[in-house]
């Protein structure tokens, strides 16, 4: 009998040693300690052996059962550990492998130019102001000396939002908003998007302007000339010629349009091969911005005394400047988001 329990113990060890899954262990448990299990039957057989042998036999069987349970638990633990090691081994991540590089973006060419323009003005002591894209009729037109039915309103083909509101057609309404709130001296620029019902190679329905104005007690046209000549030479070349032509805006008097010598053909109007320059179309000059001395009527709208203050204002088209700087012929390229185009400005 002693021998057969020893044999069962060895058999148990062998069987457990061969188990490789939880299910196999469970099956073994049923086989040995289930209702008809081998150890269960041995324990049940106790009642058939002589009573003087029963206590010792009982103790041995109980010890064997304890041994079985302990071995099963140990095997389960070992299997779990093995599984963990397998996962660690097979699902190992090699952190030294090069990763998938994500494409690096870049600043949009228009914003590059916009930032450059803003920088030039900041260095001259101008501050930056902003205003709403949806503007009321009063700020976009009326207070800029364009009463209802004024023919100058037709100069800017307008998108109407509702009865009294428009998508601002220029950044000039922010002049009014700043002057309504503050007193001179003022030296402000206003970068931002503007909207007009325009769409061709040099006109976009949404484009950007940088407005600027300077108001104090003795601002003259020579201040306007000095500031804008300096700014244009900073943005383009030091030697680039700058030309002031008489013009008309309802909110400035006198008014001017300012041209810069064509940067592509250096003001010759023709390329080295004698062909007409594709940027200035042979004229040698390019219109860059509108400007003028702020009209006394505008000062009265914001509650300034035109006898005591004077000032100049200007508005430049950012797309126009970017097209000249980079030699781009079609304004629509800025808004098509073609990566082949955008990547050139990284
Ligand atoms: C104005 O918008 C005036 N508010 C400028 C101004 C401000 C004058 C302060 C005096 C004092 P104008 O409509 O000319 O002016 O536009 C100014 C610039 O915006 C133009 O020189 C041009 O460079 C640019 N521009 C005008 N329309 C478009 C368009 N549809 N697409 C791209 N650029 C445009």
Q: Based on the domain organization, do 30 and 131 belong to the same domain?
A: no
Q: Which carries the bigger pLDDT value, residue 153 or residue 238? A: 153
51: containing domain:
2-90
Query: Which tokens hold the place of 302?
Result: 């914001």
Query: Which tokens hold the place of 144?
Result: 């800029």
How high is the pLDDT of residue 1? 47
For the chain, give the percent of residues with pLDDT over 70. 99
Q: Based on the domain organization, do 163 and 293 belong to the same domain?
A: yes
Q: Domains in the chain: how many in total? A: 2
Ligand 1 neighbourhood includes 175 CB (under 6 angstroms):
no
Q: Based on the domain organization, do 254 and 126 belong to the same domain?
A: yes
How remote is the CA of residue 297 from the centroid of ligand 1, in Å? 21
Ligand 1 neighbourhood includes 320 CB (under 6 angstroms):
yes
Atom 28 of ligand 1, residue of closest alpha carbon: 203
Ligand 1 neighbourhood includes 212 CB (under 6 angstroms):
no
Checking if the pLDDT of 262 tops 60, the result is yes
Atom 6 of ligand 1, residue of closest alpha carbon: 315
Residue with tokens 């633990």: 77
How remote is the CA of residue 245 from the centroid of ligand 1, in Å? 15
Ligand 1 neighbourhood includes 137 CB (under 6 angstroms):
no
Reduce the DSSP state of residue 174 to 3 states and report it: helix
102 in any annotated domain: no
State which of 37, 58, 90 marks the end of a domain: 90
How remote is the CA of residue 182 from the centroid of ligand 1, in Å? 25
How remote is the CA of residue 310 from the centroid of ligand 1, in Å? 22
- Average pLDDT taken over every residue of the chain: 92
149 in any annotated domain: yes
At 21-58, the pLDDT tens digits run: 999 999 999 999 999 999 999 999 999 999 999 999 99
How remote is the CA of residue 40 from the centroid of ligand 1, in Å? 99
CA angle 112, 117, 121 (to 5 degrees): 145
340 in any annotated domain: yes
Query: Which tokens hold the place of 67?
Result: 């041994």
Stretch 96-112: mean pLDDT, rounded?
90
135 in any annotated domain: yes
Q: Based on the domain organization, do 82 and 116 belong to the same domain?
A: no
Q: What are phi and psi of 161, to 5 degrees?
A: -95, -50
At 169-180, the pLDDT tens digits run: 999 999 999 999
Q: Is 5 left (phi over 0), alpha (psi -120 to 50) or beta?
A: alpha
Q: Based on the domain organization, do 187 and 221 belong to the same domain?
A: yes
Q: Based on the domain organization, do 121 and 77 belong to the same domain?
A: no
State which of 59, 90, 121 marks the end of a domain: 90
C-alpha closest to that of 157 among 131, 183, 194, 116: 194
Mutating to test ligand 1, I would choose from 135, 196, 252, 290 the residue with most ligand atoms within 8 A of its C-beta, which is 290
Q: Based on the domain organization, do 194 and 84 belong to the same domain?
A: no
Ligand 1 neighbourhood includes 109 CB (under 6 angstroms):
no
Mutating to test ligand 1, I would choose from 176, 315, 318, 335 the residue with most ligand atoms within 8 A of its C-beta, which is 315
Most confident of the following: 121-130, 159-168, 275-284? 121-130
How remote is the CA of residue 92 from the centroid of ligand 1, in Å? 62
211 in any annotated domain: yes
d(CA 123, CA 115): 12
d(CA 76, CA 25): 8
99 in any annotated domain: no
141 in any annotated domain: yes
Which atom belonging to ligand 1 lies closest to the Cα atom of 175? 9
At 325-343, the pLDDT tens digits run: 888 888 999 999 999 999 9
Stretch 6-12: mean pLDDT, rounded?
92
Atom 5 of ligand 1, residue of closest alpha carbon: 315
d(CA 41, CA 170): 99
Q: Based on the domain organization, do 79 and 118 belong to the same domain?
A: no
How high is the pLDDT of residue 63? 94
How remote is the CA of residue 317 from the centroid of ligand 1, in Å? 6
Quick count: other Cβ atoms within 10 Å of Cβ 16? 19
Ligand 1 neighbourhood includes 207 CB (under 6 angstroms):
yes
What are the start-end ranges of the E strands in the chain? 127-128, 134-136, 160-162, 165-167, 186-195, 206-216, 242-249, 252-261, 285-294, 310-317
Q: Based on the domain organization, do 142 and 254 belong to the same domain?
A: yes
Q: Based on the domain organization, do 215 and 290 belong to the same domain?
A: yes
Checking if the pLDDT of 107 tops 90, the result is yes
Q: Based on the domain organization, do 10 and 50 belong to the same domain?
A: yes
Checking if the pLDDT of 280 tops 60, the result is yes
Q: Based on the domain organization, do 62 and 14 belong to the same domain?
A: yes
Atom 23 of ligand 1, residue of closest alpha carbon: 317
Stated pTM of the model: 0.73
How high is the pLDDT of residue 3? 52
Quick count: other Cβ atoms within 10 Å of Cβ 248? 14
Checking if the pLDDT of 147 tops 60, the result is yes
Mutating to test ligand 1, I would choose from 152, 153, 209 the residue with most ligand atoms within 8 A of its C-beta, which is 209
Half-sphere exposure of 110 (CA within 13 A, CB side): 19
C-alpha closest to that of 291 among 243, 234, 239: 243
Checking if the pLDDT of 219 tops 60, the result is yes
For residue 232, what is the domain's CATH number? 3.30.930.10
127 in any annotated domain: yes
Most confident of the following: 88-97, 193-202, 247-256? 247-256
Ligand 1 neighbourhood includes 204 CB (under 6 angstroms):
yes
Residue 183 burial by Cβ neighbours in a 10 Å radius (0-12, 13-18, 19+) = exposed
């Amino acid at each position: 009998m002693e021998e057969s329990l020893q044999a069962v113990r060895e058999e148990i060890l062998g069987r457990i040693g061969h188990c490789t899954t939880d299910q196999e262990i469970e099956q073994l448990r049923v086989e040995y300690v289930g209702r008809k299990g081998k150890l269960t039957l041995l324990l049940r057989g106790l009642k058939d052996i002589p009573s003087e042998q029963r206590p010792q036999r009982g103790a041995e069987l109980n010890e064997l059962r304890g041994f079985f349970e302990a071995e099963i638990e140990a095997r389960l633990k070992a299997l779990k550990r093995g599984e963990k090691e397998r996962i660690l081994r097979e699902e190992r991540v090699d952190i030294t492998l090069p990763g998938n590089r994500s494409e690096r973006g870049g600043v949009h060419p228009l914003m590059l130019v916009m930032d450059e323009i803003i920088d030039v003005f900041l260095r001259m002591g101008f501050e930056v102001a902003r205003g709403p894209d949806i503007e009321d009729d009063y700020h976009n037109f009326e207070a800029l000396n364009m009463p209802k039915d004024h023919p100058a309103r037709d100069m800017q083909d307008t998108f109407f939002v509702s009865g009294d509101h428009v998508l601002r057609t220029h950044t000039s309404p922010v002049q009014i908003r700043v002057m309504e709130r503050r007193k001179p001296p003022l030296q402000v620029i206003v970068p931002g998007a503007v909207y007009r019902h325009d769409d061709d190679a040099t006109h976009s329905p949404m484009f950007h302007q940088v407005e600027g104005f300077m108001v104090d007690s003795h601002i003259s046209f020579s201040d306007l000339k000095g500031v804008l000549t300096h700014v244009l030479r900073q943005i383009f070349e030091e030697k680039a010629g700058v030309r002031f032509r008489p013009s008309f805006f309802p909110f400035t008097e006198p008014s001017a349009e300012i041209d810069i010598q064509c940067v592509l053909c250096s003001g010759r109007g023709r390329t080295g091969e004698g062909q007409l320059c594709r940027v200035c179309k042979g004229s040698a000059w390019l219109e860059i911005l509108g400007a003028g001395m702020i009209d006394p009527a505008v000062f009265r709208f914001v509650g300034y005394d035109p006898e005591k203050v004077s000032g100049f204002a200007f508005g430049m088209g950012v797309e126009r400047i970017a097209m000249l700087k980079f030699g781009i012929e079609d304004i629509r390229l800025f808004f098509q988001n073609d990566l082949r185009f955008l990547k050139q400005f990284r």
